[in-house]
Amino acid sequence: MRRKPVERLVAEGGKGEGGTLRRSMGVWQLTMISIGATLGTGIFVVLGQAVPDAGPAVVISFVLAGVTALFSALSYAELAGTIPVSGSSYSYAYATLGELVAWVCGWCLILEYGVSVAAVAVGWGQYLNELLDGTLGITIPTALAAPPGQGGYFNLPALLVVMLAMVFLLGGAKESARANTIMVTVKIVALLLFCGVALQGVKSGNYANFMPMGMTGVSAAGATLFFSYIGFDAASTAGEEARNPQRDLPRAIMLSLVIVTTLYCLVAAVAVGAMPWQKFKGSEAALAGILKSVTGQNFWAVLLALGAVVAIASVVLTVLYGQTRILFAMSRDGLVPKAFSKVHAKSGAPRVNTVIVCLFCGVLAAAVPLGQLADATSIGTLFAFALVNVAVIVLRRTRPTMPRSFRTPLSPLFPAVGFVLCVFMMGNLGAVTWVVFGVWMVVGLVIYFGYGLRRSRLATAEK
């Protein structure tokens, strides 16, 4: 139950084995990291799953999911401005709830980031094939474009996108942020282009019977769509590489959530207006299908596929970045081996950490059929979100006079609501997901009590 003082967390910011992380990012780069980790596979494939539940009212479902995410985002913004370090919710828990809870939170984040990278990378290969087919008339053979158990032997595109992200990350945070900003710009332009083209096919009759399944359907779709917002917390992992973290981190988190929610609602409104909602069922590439239907040409669909390829690559890059920085913080605290906190003197990047994480995630994506294991991403994220909401309440009680660049309004009410919503979402996940989560937690606790408990820097300082 030992806690790490906030002042010590902040004082150690950026310091690793053999070097320090470089403070090179402003509010724009941080916002782009957050958008990069959030805006991707969700909007390009999620409509096919959500619209059949909500009908044209899927726009309301996006708003409901965004409001649900907002409560946790407010808590993240407060803690990111108060404790501007790389560990995100792991570090927040360490300062407020104790080492064991912090370890569990960090272990959940490893599950969230690692498995989500693998799952997203698998989807990237599918979009790459669509792009190649539409432009060159060729596709990568299934044997090399799908993992075992899904018709293939080795998913080469999935490994390729992870290795590409690794090259950028090894160059340093500034270079990675620049590449991500370009990719985020491309995918925002692609979505706006979709809206501009598809708007020509909007028919008012498609909005009739606006809420066919009632509020039950809207709520069910909202629960599905909530996971389209996972990723806004990525900016908080850059706390030790931001030039002015106390000011810029809260702004980046809130700004990214507003931009993403606006884009989601805009795209959804145009999509259900351009195609009857009953036709969305079973469609994994609904947006591309709408463009083909409206224009009668393949060109716009190919252009959208290019946007999807870039969008998913951006998600892979930013999520891998977040994963390496969380492990960096855990390593510096002694809970995982020192190799993860070793910083390269020239690039200012944790290179060993980056190579290990990218190789692991790349092989996982290429060789393992993830199946329902990917659902564990959601439960790990929600658990971390819930702890952040609790941490805000605890820190307000234990350190009420601490300077805060952003304060969650109506605390402790809003953090409490955020906690309840996260627990509610977790309760709606399937039994298999809970079993996977339970096994993952048992493995994590074995590692902590066998390794981290005695090697923790707080533990060695007590001796």
Q: State how far the Cα of 350 lies from the Cα of 339, in Å rounded to an integer.
A: 9
Determine the pLDDT at residue 285: 62
Two tokens, residue 27? 């509010």
Higher pLDDT, 316 or 238: 316
Q: What is the pLDDT of residue 145?
A: 75
3-state secondary structure of 17: strand
pLDDT number for residue 278: 83
- Of 92-101, 122-131, 156-165, give the lowest mean pLDDT range: 122-131
Residue 205's pLDDT is what? Answer: 87
Say whether pLDDT at 43 is over 80. no
**What is the structure's pLDDT at 115?**
78
Nearest CA to 264 out of 321, 225, 314 is that of: 225
Instruction: Please state, as a whole number, how many other Cβ atoms lie within 10 Å of the Cβ of residue 291.
Output: 26
pTM (2 d.p.)? 0.84
pLDDT at 194 over 80: yes
pLDDT of 158 higher than 80: yes
Average pLDDT over residues 310-332: 87
Residues above pLDDT 70, as percent of the chain? 93
The set of residues, in sequence order, having a beta carbon less than 8 Å from that of 385 and lying 6+ positions away, is 72, 89, 233, 418, 422
**For residue 450, what pLDDT is reported?**
92
Q: In whole angstroms, how large is the CA radius of gyration of the chain?
A: 22
- Cα 54 from Cα 328, distance rounded (Å): 42
Rounded mean pLDDT, 18-46? 79
Indicate the residue type of 40: G
pLDDT attached to residue 370? 61
- Of residues 224, 197, 230, the one with CA closest to residue 37: 230
* C-alpha distances out from residue 426 to 114, 299, 381, Å: 19, 41, 10
Give 361-374 pLDDT, tens digit per residue. Answer: 888 888 776 655 55
**Which residues lie closer than 8 Å to 132 by C-beta, 6 or more apart?**
138, 139, 140
Is 60 exceeded by the pLDDT of residue 121? yes
**41 pLDDT band (50/70/90 cuts)?**
low
The rounded percent of the chain whose pLDDT value lies above 90 is 12
Which of 2-6, 64-68, 353-357 is the least confident region? 2-6
Is the pLDDT score of 138 beyond 90?
A: no
Whole-number Å distance between alpha carbons of 125 and 139:
10
Given a cut of 70, whether residue 284 has pLDDT beyond it is no
Residues in CB range of 143: below 8 A, 6 or more apart: 151, 152, 153, 154
- pLDDT bucket at 103, cuts 50 / 70 / 90: very high
Q: Are 119 and 374 in contact (CB under 8 A)?
A: yes
Helices and strands per DSSP (H, E), number in the chain: 19, 2
Mean pLDDT for all residues in the chain: 83
Per-residue pLDDT tens for 412-446?
999 999 999 888 878 777 787 788 888 889 999 99
CB 436, CB 381: distance < 8 Å: no
Task: Note the pLDDT of residue 448.
Answer: 93
pLDDT of residue 277: 84
Which residues touch 258 (CB under 8 Å, ≥6 apart)? none
Q: What is the mean pLDDT of residues 295-318?
A: 83
Answer with the residue of higher pLDDT: 134 or 271. 271
Lowest mean pLDDT among 8-17, 64-73, 149-158, 338-347: 8-17
Which pLDDT belongs to residue 415? 94
